[in-house]
Amino acid sequence: MYSFTVEGNVDDVNVLNEVRERVRNQGRVWWALQASKGANWYLQPEILLIGALKKTSLKISALANAITLKRLVRKGIPPVLRPKVWFSVSGAAKKKSTVPESYYSDLTKAVDGMVTPATLQIDHDLPRTFPGHPWLDTPEGHAALRRVLVGYSFRDSDVGYCQGLNYVAALLLLVMKTEEDAFWMLAVLLENVLVRDCYTTNLSGCHVEQRVFKDLLAQKCPRIATHLEDMGFDVSLVATEWFLCLFSKSLPSETTLRLWDVLFYEGAKVLFHAALAIFKMKENELLMTHQVGDVINIIHTTSHQLFDPDELLTVAFEKIGSMTTNTISKQRKKQEPAVMAELDQRLRRLNSLKETGKNT
């Protein structure tokens, strides 16, 4: 659907055909709701949240829409509606409305030709971003992706550019169709949806997420966690890429975008649901492993062959159990001091080595 080459066998093709049929059926549900409730019915839950509705009957109606929307989003947003729904429910439209209409155009013109460490790294990463894709891997695709990434690097100098964002921005471009909308989706993702500092220079936020994930694995999948710990396996070996690239390099594109459907509506907790689900799905096989390399192979093979999004999302939301955003926020606060102390110690050690080098 998004022009990625599928590397699979006949069974995988059959799964993809079944997925396409489910997408068509899900589309009919969305069109029916639009016909009965109006084209923008899914915006009503947001109105409820800001207290604009006063009458009880309208509140109940909006609450019903919110429940319906959550259920529908988890079943998948039809690709043709994805740009509009993402832009609305993520908060990107609201964020864009707070600045002049020419903001993105003015920004890209203002930074055109500027050279920074971020722009140099972006130029290095462009050819390595989904190589072989019929649009992304062309001069036109590279130019569009570069403008989005460079523009954001100047919008937020604390983030600048971090490897991994190239894959995220590339998928956003494919879905949103326009550079400007992709830019604002990237902005709302980094500034509102994900934990702050995930993409800053020391990746402190990403380190926190790894520790939170390790704790959640021990809670939700204790047998797996104990076995991996006894083996000396560090979950960051596979999970770092998941949290930096938001699964865009690990899962088939349609499965990634189904996950992002939920991510933009329910928040970053969804990433933990998905990560735990991948381990949970292969629990028996993982418990039989004795080598770290075997664990990595099982996890990589599983994620790359998850062509059926419902297979992953069913486990993620029905077998992992509930996890609230508030619970995960508390876990993050608990882990932050240890992460910052570790990063500070690492920096001191690095500076000490540099001083030693100067004196020899």
> What is the predicted pLDDT for the residue at 99?
97
Among 223, 232, 208, 217, smallest CA distance to 295 is for 232
Going from the C-alpha of 87 to that of each of 60, 177, 192, 248, 315, the distances in angstroms are 25, 12, 13, 19, 27
Residues 6+ away with beta carbon under 8 Å from 278: 299, 302, 303, 306, 312
> What's the one-letter identity of residue 189?
L
> What is the predicted pLDDT for the residue at 52?
42
Among 321, 152, 162, 186, smallest CA distance to 260 is for 186
Same domain, residue pair 118 and 155:
yes
Token pair of 282 as six digits:
């292969």
Token pair of 191 as six digits:
């500034």
Last residue of a domain, one of 170, 193, 216: 193
Same domain, residue pair 214 and 163:
no
**Contact (CB, 8 A) for 180 and 214:** no
> What is the predicted pLDDT for the residue at 357?
65
Same domain, residue pair 157 and 217:
no
Last residue of a domain, one of 172, 193, 214: 193
Same domain, residue pair 114 and 220:
no
* Coil/strand/helix, residue 191: helix
Among 307, 298, 234, smallest CA distance to 15 is for 307
What is the residue-level pLDDT of the chain in tens, covering all 360 positions?
899 988 778 888 899 999 999 999 999 999 998 898 888 887 744 444 444 444 455 455 666 778 889 999 999 999 999 999 999 999 999 999 999 999 999 999 999 999 999 999 999 999 999 999 999 999 999 999 999 999 999 999 889 999 999 999 999 999 998 999 999 999 999 999 998 788 888 888 899 999 999 999 999 999 999 999 999 999 999 999 999 999 999 999 999 999 999 999 999 999 999 999 999 999 999 999 999 999 999 999 999 999 999 999 999 999 998 898 899 999 999 998 998 898 888 878 777 776 666 666
| Axis crossing angle, helix 204-220 with helix 236-245, rounded to the nearest 10 | 120
> What is the predicted pLDDT for the residue at 54?
45
Token pair of 269 as six digits:
């907790």
State which residues form the domain around 187. Answer: 96-193
In a domain, 261, yes or no: yes
Token pair of 336 as six digits:
């932050």
Last residue of a domain, one of 142, 165, 193: 193
> What is the predicted pLDDT for the residue at 60?
54
Indicate which CATH number applies to the domain containing 172: 1.10.8.270
